[in-house]
Amino acid sequence: MFVKSHAVVPALAALLMLPGCNATAPAAKGPDTIFLATEYPTLRLESLAYLGLASLQPDPIGPTTVDDLLRTHLTGGQQRFLVINESTCRLRARQAGLESDLETIVKVWKDKHTVERFALKRLGEKIGIDGIILGDLTQWRTEQVDWQSEGNSFTEVGVTLSIFDAKTGILAWKGEKMERQESIHYRHGEGVGTGTYQQSGSKAERTQRPDELAPEPPDPKDVAKTVVLSLVEGLPDKPGVKNP
């Protein structure tokens, strides 16, 4: 039986309309949209396993980069959950005789973006995890403005992060983040001089280039890191726990 992860809601967008909030201020860190299951407060989610990334993007560098970033920052860059990596989970599954269940969970997620709940329940009971975290690379795109035209080069990276409860198989939490960063504005024949990159409201110095060379897109690895850190920072508190 499959559980499809599809429901999302805007993440605190209404706060921009509250008194004292500046609607033109830089976007806050964290996911662009979040989903939190109504059952979330009743779940037990302390130990989670990160089981990798699904991706339909043709560039192999994108999935590898984002998968490495997620593994690093989920297992060592946050303190809300105890997260074990896929290799540790695979070892435990092999020792419990459930490696086929693990393979099924990973394959179904990558192929269908769903979770096989019965395999997940068996795995959770036998290897001591309360749930799993799965990623999805939804966008990895760079485009350089044509040197004979006018405009901005840009990079777009989109990632979705989902937590599934092992006992019930339900989608407990989901965060989505899309980041677009642009180069300096370019106009053929005018040169590029000095200026700024636009990075989600922040500014960074740009370097001089010959006037016949269009600016390169921002480094997608840097954009991906921004996206992953935003998602990790936006992880929910453990059920029943409120962080100070």
pLDDT of residue 189: 65
Q: For residue 125, what pLDDT is reported? A: 93
Report phi then psi at 158, rounded to 5: -130, 135
What pLDDT sits at residue 244? 47
Apex 241 CA angle, 238 and 244, nearest 5: 115
Question: Residues 234, 29: contact at Cβ < 8 Å?
Answer: yes
Other CB atoms within 10 A of residue 137 CB? 24
User: Which amino acid, residue 145?
Assistant: V
- Position 200 scores a pLDDT of 47
| CA–CA separation, 154 and 218 (whole Å) | 6
Sequence-distant (≥ 6) Cβ neighbours of residue 14 within 8 angstroms: none
How distant is the alpha carbon of residue 5 from its chain centre?
A: 15
pTM (2 d.p.):
0.78
β-bridge pairing 82-84 and 114-116: unpaired
Give the domains, in start order, of the chain with CATH numbers: 32-180+219-233 (3.40.50.10610)
Alpha helices, H only, 113-161: 117-127
Distance CA 82, CA 84 (A): 7
pLDDT, position 74: 96
CA dihedral of 140, 49, 166, 129, whole degrees rounded to 10? -170
* Residue pair 208/193 in contact by the 8 Å Cβ criterion: yes
pLDDT value of residue 242:
57
Give mean pLDDT in consecutive 10-residue pieces for the chain, a chain of 244 residues: 42 35 44 96 96 92 96 92 94 95 96 94 95 97 83 93 96 97 77 44 45 78 96 92 54
Distance between CA atoms of residues 64 and 11, nearest Å: 28
